[in-house]
Chains A and B, each alone.
Chain A
Amino acid sequence: MKKIIQSLFFTLLLLILLGISMLGSISPRQISATAGSFQIAPFKNGLSLFQNSRGKYYTLSPFNDYELYKDGSRSSFITSEEIQNQTFTQDSDKNYVQKLTQSFKDYFGKNSESITFTSANKIINYKTVVNANHVHIERTITFENSSTERILGMTLSFQGNDFVYDTKGNLFTYIPNSQIESFNKNSGVSLSANLDFLQIALLDKKVFIVNPDLAGVIGVKGHPDQIVRINRDAKIIEVEDVVKPENGTTYTTSFDIYLFESPQEGFMGL
């Protein structure tokens, strides 16, 4: 009996000491999911697509996402006052132990990323599931009390010097002609400038983004019942739809992003 108690004591002691030892590990600064030549990771302002050491981010953020009201006005999910007063929280800063265990699991393969923002009257969660070069993005918003249909918009930001074009080759951002010619020559596709609109909804719900300083193409694809709009003024792609609540208060919206190696592959693949 004495032996067993002694063994139990030292086993427990060993387990505690080993447990404490593990707590000293240093977790990586960031473990991201990889989709094509892009990575996805949570940041302070949302989930972003980016490429290693190139400093350009394509972000899904509640600061840009919006609700459209019947009177035509719109408001973002987290307002500028809430940002200024920091009256919201987000969970990308996990606690130390969670970070360690998450990093351990992520080492063996990470195919999803998520981030949750909590403000005074709503909880907004973004979740991405990656499969090779395909990223399925799902956002759920839980309002404090709600039971009606809402018009909700999801957004993906882009850069000022991006080529943003549709499947017919209409280029909706201002790019110098010499650059367009060069792009057409390099990529084997044919783009022509169409700058008549500051905002335009795309009938086939598909749009491509190419940044001249990044490798690869981002393809955005909405569902048939959604409106996919390029907002050149705000430099965002808007994916808008009428959403019915689940469980009375939760609204789920989704769309898809595909990452391609080249514009030609994009035309074939989206």
Chain B
Amino acid sequence: MIASLFAGLLFFLFPTLVGRTFIRLLNKKRTLAHPFVTYFISGSLLTYAVTVIVYYVAQYAKIQIGFEYLFAGVIALLSFIFIPANFVIEKFDLKIKQLLLPTLASFATALLTTLLWRVKSPHPLNWDIYEHQTLTNNILDGRFSFFSSQVTDTFGFNGYSTLFHTLLAASQTFFSVSVFDYWNSVSFVHLGIVCLASYLLAKEVTGSRAVGYISMLLGGLIFDSTISFTNLFLIPQTFTALVFILLFTQLIRSLKKGKTVSLPFLFLGSIFLLLNHYIVGSIAFFFYLGTYLYFRFQNFFTPKIDRKYAMAIGIIITSIAIGASCFLPLGFINKGEGEAFVLTFADKWDVIRQSYSLLPLIFFPIGVYTIIKRKTELALYTLDTTLALTALVLFQLPYVMKFFVLDKYFFGVILAVGLYTILNRIKNIILKYIGYAALIFTLIFVFVLNSANWKQILIYKNTQSHVGENEIKAARFLQEEYSNSNAMVVSDPSTQYILETLSGVNSQGGAYMDHPAREELNSISQEVDPNIIADSLFDIKDKVNSDSDTRLFVLSGRYFVWQNQSEKNKQDLSFNIWHTADLTETNKEYINTLIAENSRFRLVFQNETLAIVEVKMPDSGLK
């Protein structure tokens, strides 16, 4: 457990320490605002660049050493050279005065949020950890590529490079981690940094620590629980947003000090954002570069543009464009999972209400009014950015809600200003405390109801989780017996998704099982001949990894619930059986009949939740 928790911390710490040495070697004199973000980015990019180069050189030169050993060598080399050098090159200046209290408060907020979130939920609730850990497992097993879809078929398309997974793999290289402990650890640190980033952004923009702390509370306790998942889930889009906010804050702080971020650093930051998520990263890059250019050439813009007119014209054009977006013939991009993510205005309002309740309706306008009235350039610019990002989210296009992952931080600043506008008028210290206590209680209330809503479909026995103990035991069995074989798990999308990650035994696409495989699995439900069922299992093939002569047919309670769904649901990539289900008498009878009637089926594991049946290829060899 300790190793897993430490590995989780290393995800952030290792690149930061490597990057610090790297930056200090290249750039001894220059002082940076919030340097830790630059250290982290440069360390990450250095690690990734060396990994990619080593991989492709080894491929080209046909080096006969497994990539897993080369990767471990890269991480070991970077660790031994760059980490100790930190203590030699320059003394650590932790800026304790400035950052100690906000950091402690951020992690206290993260702890409160985590404790509330984990009520009745012993395991991480981030469904995406399974696919990211599967890719990480593949890297650690020696399968690597710049493109995620070439490493594992769990990734049907390339939405980002494998930078994120290389960092995950780097932190797990020398530790035998428990998947859940590791993700609990890394997610907690991520949440703490999200709270800190919320504080830093608000503080830099408004100059007020109090607004910073309110923004921190909003950053932790407001969970955007649909599509964007900014604070509680560490995934490439949320990671991109976090780094973007830290870069944005760094830029603002540098400008306030009368300096600019140098072009190489700007370039490194931009590359990181783009590699980490092509779509969210592009938008983040646009705003990052835009902010840099705006303030760099502010003297050129300011006298020529009247902000009021620019804003009015912007709002009119954007409103027309948002309205028109409903009528654009964009059906061709509304495919697959995307179809499930086209939300109407009413849906979006429900999403906001679920996450924030009515806080934005009341305090956002007060925040906007205060900022406009005060006429501070940075705050006005932040307001413009918030409105632009919010407009982007309002477009009737698939996936645009993902951009809320960037917007949430700015939205939080405006809300925090709105809340502070009233809190600041309370001069009596006791009443002020009552005001802050009421705010914290309100946020806890909203968060708890949001969590209760989110978790209500995950009930299994006395827990709310995606995974049950019997599935964990089954995964452990698979890991011990089959992880070194080329056997492939076949089951419903959710079961194989979870088992592949926890056991390391391959499956066809995990939860993103492709359509032909879904059709094949569906056909099994109507079939009674065990030989045809066995043949069908071998018609389900992994297109990335080599085929095997053994299928592990996992007949879980979920599998049978999935088989009872409509054809439409079975083909829908966004539909899953989200909670564990135990086997029923009918299920057990089916399993008994299957194994009794054919020698190709051999029961190797069974508990109340699932049975694992080993199925062998007929003597004729691979199909």
Is the beta-carbon distance between A104 and B448 smaller than 8 angstroms? yes
Which residues does chain A contribute within 8 Å of B586, judged by CB atoms? 212-213
Interface mask (A1-33 → B, CB under 8 Å = 1, otherwise 0): 001101110110111011011111111111110
CA of A100 to CA of B608, assembled, Å: 36
Answer yes or no: A194 CB below 8 A from chain B CBs: no
A210 touches B585 (CB 8 A): yes
A34-42, A135-143, A166-174, A248-256: which one contacts chain B?
A34-42
The interface residues of chain B lying within 8 Å CB-to-CB of A210 are: 585
Contact assessment for B589 and A216 in the assembled complex, using a CB-CB cutoff below 8 Å: no
CB distance from B597 to the nearest CB of A (A): 13
Which B-chain residue is minimally distant from A179 (CB atoms)?
A: B589
**Complex: A18 Cα to B442 Cα, angstroms:** 7
Which chain A residues border B557 with CB–CB below 8 Å? 215
Query: A211 on the interface (CB 8 Å rule)?
Result: yes
Chain A CB within 10 A, most for which of B354, B431, B460:
B431
Residues of A within 8 A of B435 (CB): 10-11, 14-15
**Does B452 have its Cβ within 8 Å of any Cβ on chain A?**
yes
**Closest residue of B by beta carbon distance from A187:** B585
With A and B bound together, what is the CA distance between A182 and B590 in angstroms?
Answer: 10
Min CB–CB distance A70 → chain B (angstroms): 42
Least Cβ–Cβ distance between A12 and chain B, in angstroms: 9
Task: Establish whether residues A10 and B425, one from each chain, have CB atoms under 8 Å apart when the complex forms.
Answer: yes
Known: A14-B423, A20-B362. A52 touches B452 (CB 8 A): no
Q: In the bound complex, do residue A17 and residue B363 qualify as a contact, i.e. CB atoms below 8 Å apart?
A: yes
Judged by a CB distance under 8 angstroms, whether A103 is at the interface is yes
The answer on a CB contact under 8 Å between A24 and B427 is no
Q: How large is the interface on A (under 10, 10 to 19, 20 to 34, 35 or more residues)?
A: 35 or more
* B581 is an interface residue with CB less than 8 A from chain A: yes
Q: Assess whether A106 is interfacial by the CB under 8 Å rule.
A: yes
Taking a contact as CB atoms under 8 Å apart, the answer to whether A20 and B434 are in contact is no
A108–B444 CA distance with the chains assembled, in angstroms: 12
Scan B437-479; emit 1 where CB is below 8 A from any A CB, else 0.
Answer: 0110010011011111100110111100000000000000000
Contact A215 B442 (CB under 8 A): no
B448 in complex: contacting residue of A10, A107, A212, CB < 8 Å: A107
A261 to B357 Cα, complex, angstroms = 40
Q: Are A213 and B448 in contact (CB under 8 A)?
A: no
A25 to B435, CA, bound (A): 20
List which B338-393 residues lie within 8 A (CB) of chain A. 350, 353-354, 357-359, 361-363
Q: In the complex, which residues of chain B have a beta carbon less than 8 angstroms from the beta carbon of A108?
A: 119
How many Å from the CB of A88 to the closest CB on chain B?
Answer: 29
Q: Are A26 and B353 also in contact (CB < 8 A) when A31-B452, A185-B592, A210-B585 are?
A: yes
- With CB as the reference atom, state the residue of chain A lying closest to B358: A24
Contact B357 A30 (CB under 8 A): no
Contact of A7 among B362, B426, B462, B585 (CB under 8 A): B426
Closest A residue by C-beta to B560: A213
Which of A6, A52, A163, A182 has most B Cβ within 10 Å?
Answer: A52
Number of interface residues of B (CB under 8 A): 52
Which of B359, B428, B459 is close to A3, meaning CB atoms less than 8 Å apart? B428
**Interchain CB contact (< 8 A) of A10 among B350, B422, B450, B592:** B422
* Contact pick for B608, options A11, A30, A215, CB 8 Å: A215
CB of A43 within 8 A of chain B? no
Q: Is the CB of B445 within 8 A of A22?
A: yes
**B357 and A22 within 8 A (CB):** yes
Inside 8 A of A148's CB, which chain B residues have their CB?
Answer: none
- Nearest-neighbour CB distance to chain A for B363, whole angstroms, equals 7
Considering the complex, give the chain A residue whose CB is closest to the CB of B588: A186
B561 to chain A: closest residue by CB = A53
Contact B438 A215 (CB under 8 A): no
- Interface mask (A89-127 → B, CB under 8 Å = 1, otherwise 0): 000000000001001101111000000000000000000
Find chain A residues with CB under 8 A from B452 CB.
27-28, 31, 103-104, 106-107
Does B422 lie within 8 Å of A14, measured CB to CB? Answer: yes
Q: Do B119 and A25 have beta carbons less than 8 Å apart?
A: no
* Most B Cβ at <10 Å: residue of A17, A21, A30: A21
Min CB–CB distance A74 → chain B (angstroms): 33
Cβ B462 vs Cβ A53 within 8 A:
no
Distance in angstroms from A114 CB to nearest chain B CB is: 19
Would B357 and A24 count as touching, CB distance under 8 A?
Answer: yes
Chain A residues within 8 Å of B425, by CB = 6-7, 10
Chain A nearest CB, measured from B280 CB (Å): 26
Q: Check B439–A18 contact: CB distance below 8 A.
A: yes
When distances are taken between beta carbons in the complex, the residues of chain B under 8 Å from A243 are none
> In this assembly, does B583 line the interface, its C-beta being within 8 Å of a C-beta of chain A?
yes
Interface string of A198-222 (1 = CB under 8 A from B): 0000000000001111111000000
Which A-chain residue is minimally distant from B557 (CB atoms)? A215
B334 within 8 A of A: no
Query: Ordered nearest first, which 6 A-B pairs have the shortest CB separation?
Result: A24-B358, A215-B582, A7-B428, A10-B425, A212-B585, A24-B357
14 residue pairs A–B, Cβ–Cβ below 8 Å? A3-B427, A6-B425, A15-B438, A18-B442, A22-B357, A23-B357, A26-B354, A26-B453, A28-B453, A103-B449, A106-B452, A107-B448, A182-B585, A212-B584
Point out residues on B near A: beta carbons under 8 Å.
119-120, 350, 353-354, 357-359, 361-363, 422-423, 425-428, 431-432, 434-435, 438-439, 442, 445-446, 448-453, 456-457, 459-462, 557, 561, 577, 579, 581-586, 588-589, 592, 608
Q: A7-B432, A21-B363 are in contact. List 12 more A-B contacts (CB 8 A).
A: A7-B431, A10-B422, A14-B438, A15-B435, A21-B358, A21-B359, A36-B461, A100-B449, A104-B445, A106-B452, A182-B588, A210-B585
